[in-house]
Structure 1
Amino acid sequence: MDIDNKIRQQLTKESDTINQKIKHDPSLFAMLGDAYKGRLGTWLVLMSIIAIFLSLLMLWSGYQFFFVAENPAVLIKWGVTLLLASMMQIAIKMWIYNEMNRNSTAREIKRLELVIAKLQ
Structure 2
Amino acid sequence: MRDLDRMVDEALNEEERALLRSIGEEPRFIAQTLGIFGGRTGWVSGLMLLAQALLFAGGVWAAFGFFQAGDALAALRWGVPAATLLLMSLIIKMSMWPTLEANRVIRELKRIELQIAHSANRTAGR
How much does 1:22 deviate? 9.8
**Match of 1:43?**
44
Contact 2:59 2:86 survives alignment (8 Å): yes
Aligned in 2, Cα 1:59/1:30: closer, same or farther, shift over 3 Å? Answer: same
Contact 2:60 2:86 survives alignment (8 Å): no
Q: Does 1:84 align with 2:93?
A: no
Q: What is the total number of aligned residue pairs between the two structures?
A: 105
Contact 2:63 2:82 survives alignment (8 Å): yes
- Percent of paired sites with the same residue: 29
Structure number with greater CO (CA < 8 Å, separation at least 6) is 1
How much does 1:21 deviate? 8.1
Aligned in 2, Cα 1:49/1:64: closer, same or farther, shift over 3 Å? Answer: same
Aligned in 2, Cα 1:107/1:69: closer, same or farther, shift over 3 Å? Answer: same
Structure 2 counterpart of 1:110, one-letter code: K
Q: Does 1:30 align with 2:31?
A: yes
Q: RMSD value over aligned CA atoms? A: 2.5
Q: Does 1:111 align with 2:111?
A: yes
Distance, in Å, in 2 between the alignment partners of 1:74 and 1:89 is 23
**Match of 1:7?**
none
Q: Indicate the structure with greater helix content.
A: 1
